[in-house]
Amino acid sequence: MSSHAVNPAAAATTGPPGRAERPVWEEEPTRISRVGKPVVLAIVFLIIAFPLYVVVVTSLSSTEAVTRAGGLVVVPRDLTVAAYVQLLSGGVVTRALVISTAITAVGTAFSLLITMLAAYGLSRPGSLWHRPLLFVVLLTFLFGPGIIPSYLLVNSLGLIDSYGSLILPTAISAFNLIVMRAFFMGIPNELIDSARIDGAGEFAVLTRIVMPLSKAVVAVVGLFYAVGYWNAFFNAMLYLNDNTKWPLQLVLRTYIVQQQALPSGAGGVTASPGLGLTPAPSLAIKMAIVVLAVVPVLLVYPFIQKHFTKGVIVGAVKG
């Protein structure tokens, strides 16, 4: 099993080679730890990487390969991208992919913009009403409004069945706002004051001084938002009655978790002839939907990682 585990993410995140020195005062590692540690690490690695590997291989397998394996495919043989071609040639999955991408893009831009503005607005020491306003933000950590009142509100705003219902209610993460504000507060006051003396207004200070210094935190917060929008499914389930508006996660839930028959538009063969050998709907197509849901996350992941280690978040913890 193990020999096939290849995780795309692992390749992408390979760090600089090197080896830290063991401090002189530390004992030699015991034999147990010398053997045990790599074993434990390998297990941890496989538990996470192996399912992804199987899903990718199955999504690339032909009907024959799936049949031969009796389901999921572990050993790759005669690979084909047929499932992806079918999925991306129009139909439910293509549309869901477009919708998810659009919501993620628009939502992230919107969230990032207002978060940045507010984070800066709240980051200047001694400014008017910043304490009560900050309190309004922080209080949202302590309680949620509840599903039912939220539903009633979204309904009374007429947002049912609109994409706005997938963006507006979740547009602000107090957490992201606080992370960004913390970073802005770390920017030396002298820089800002000197800009102000040069006659720059607050907006100019934000765009010309603060932003260029905060690329890392903006990137990380933006990616957090993006991942959040991409992964969200519950609001879509709640607020969208019209299934032609479904984002990808809802499609994933419907066809994979709930195992409903694939729609004819997605090229899914609803049922297979034969005597119980072939899995009812094409497994490769289902797994390809899973892969499509993961890929964007894998793509942005290296960036998240890179900026993490730059100390944005970690620095906040270190305090």
Partner 1 sequence: MTTVDEVTTPTEQEPAPAPPRRRPGRPNWRLRLRRDWPLLLMVTPVIVLLLIFHYLPTLGNVIAFQDYSPYVGIRDSEFIGLANFSRLFSEGAFWSALANTLTITTFQLVFFFPIPILLALLLNSVLSVRIRTIIQGVVYLPHFFSWVLVVSLFQQMIGGAGLLAQSLRSHGFHAVDLMTKPDSFILLVTFQAVWKDAGWGMIVFLAALSTINPALYEAAAADGANRWRRLWHITLPGLRPVIVLLLILRLGDALTVGFEQFILQRNAVGADAAEVLDTYVYFEGLLSGDFGYGAAAGLFKGVVGLVLVLVANKFAHLVGEQGVYSRS
Partner 2 sequence: MTGLGGGSSNRRTFLSLLGAGTAVVTGGATLSACSSDGKASSATGHAETEDKLAGLLPKYISYEPVKPDLPGQNGADPGFTKYPAQLQRALPDKPVTSGKEVSAMTPLWGPLPPGLGKNTYFDANNERIGAPVRFNVVNGIEYGDKLGPVLAAGNVPELLCIPGWEISGQTRFSQAVDKLFEDLTPHLAGDKAAAYPMLANLPTRAWAYGVWNSQLKAVPFPSNGLPWALYYRKDLFTKFSAEPPKNMDDVLALGKELTDAKANRWAFGSISDEVARAFRAPANWRKDSSGKLLNKIETPEFEEAVAFTRKLFQSGYVHPTVVGNSGTDQKPLFEGGQILVYQDGPGSWAEALQRQLSINPSFDMQAVTPFAHDGGDAIVWGGDPAGIFTFVKKGVGEQRIKELLGVLNYCAAPFGTEEYQLANYGVEGKHYTKESSGAPKLTALGSKEVANTYVFLGGRPEAITQSQYPGYVQAMSAWQNESCKRFEKNLFEGIRVEAPSKLAALNQPFDDKLQDIFRGRRPVSELKSAVQAWRTGGGDEGRDFYAKVLSDNGR
Question: Which of the residues 141 through 170 are near partner 2 (CB under 8 A)?
Answer: 151, 155, 160-161
DSSP H or E run through 31: helix 31-59
Which position among 68, 253, 301, 305 is part of the footprint of partner 2 (CB under 8 A)?
Answer: 253
CA angle (143 as vertex; 137, 149 as ends), nearest 5: 105
Judged by beta carbon, residue 84 or residue 229, the one nearer partner 1 is 229
18 binds, among partner 1, partner 2, none (CB under 5 to 8 A by kind): partner 1
83 binds partner 1 (CB under 8 A): no
Element (H, E) at 147: helix 147-156
Q: SS3 for 61?
A: strand
Closest alpha carbon to 287 in 83, 69, 76 = 83
Contact flag: residue 75 with partner 1 (CB under 8 A): no
Q: Does 313 bind partner 1 (CB under 8 A)?
A: yes
In the complex, least distance from residue 135 CB atom to partner 1, rounded to whole angstroms: 8
- Contacting residues for 92 by C-beta, under 8 A, at least 6 apart: 246, 251, 263, 265, 266
C-alpha to C-alpha distance for 197 and 80, rounded to whole angstroms: 64
Task: Please report whether residue 272 would count as binding partner 2 according to CB under 8 A.
Answer: yes
Q: Is 257 in the site for partner 2 (CB under 8 A)?
A: yes
Binds partner 2 by CB under 8 A, chosen from 88, 269, 294, 298: 269
**Smallest distance from the beta carbon of 70 to partner 1, in angstroms?**
6
Cβ 64 vs Cβ 78: under 8 Å: yes
Q: Which of 317, 162, 189, 182 is nearest to 244 (CA)?
A: 162
The interface with partner 2 within residues 108-137 (CB under 8 A) comprises none
75 binds, among partner 2, partner 1, none (CB under 5 to 8 A by kind): none
Is residue 122 at the binding interface for partner 1, with CB under 8 A as the rule?
A: yes
Q: 10 is in the binding site of which of partner 1, partner 2, none (Cβ under 5 to 8 A by kind)? A: partner 1
Rounded Cα distance, 200 and 94, in Å: 47
Q: How far apart are CA 81 and CA 13, in angstroms?
A: 26
Near partner 2 in 26-65, by CB under 8 A: none
Q: Is 68 in the site for partner 2 (CB under 8 A)?
A: no
- Candidates 79-87, 91-99, 114-122, 263-271; binding stretch for partner 1 (CB under 8 A): 114-122
Is residue 28 involved in binding partner 1 (CB under 8 A)?
Answer: no
Query: How many residues in the shown chain lie near partner 1 by CB under 8 A?
Result: 118
CA atoms within 13 A on the CB side of 318: 8
Q: Which of 254, 291, 293, 304 binds partner 2 (CB under 8 A)?
A: 254
Residue 48 binds to partner 1 (criterion: CB under 8 A): yes
Cα 260 from Cα 152, distance rounded (Å):
29
Q: Which residues pair with 79 in a beta bridge?
A: 61
Instruction: Please identify, using beta-carbon distances, which residue of 81 and 147 lies nearer to partner 1.
Output: 147
Q: How would you classify residue 21: left for phi > 0, otherwise alpha for psi between -120 and 50, otherwise beta?
A: beta
CB 5 within 8 A of CB 49: yes
When binding is defined by CB under 8 A, the residue of 79, 88, 118, 160 that contacts partner 1 is 118
Report the 10 Å Cβ neighbour count for 16: 4
15 binds, among partner 1, partner 2, none (CB under 5 to 8 A by kind): partner 1
Instruction: State the residues that interact with partner 2 by CB under 8 A.
Output: 70, 90-92, 151, 155, 160-161, 237-238, 241-244, 253-254, 257-265, 268-281
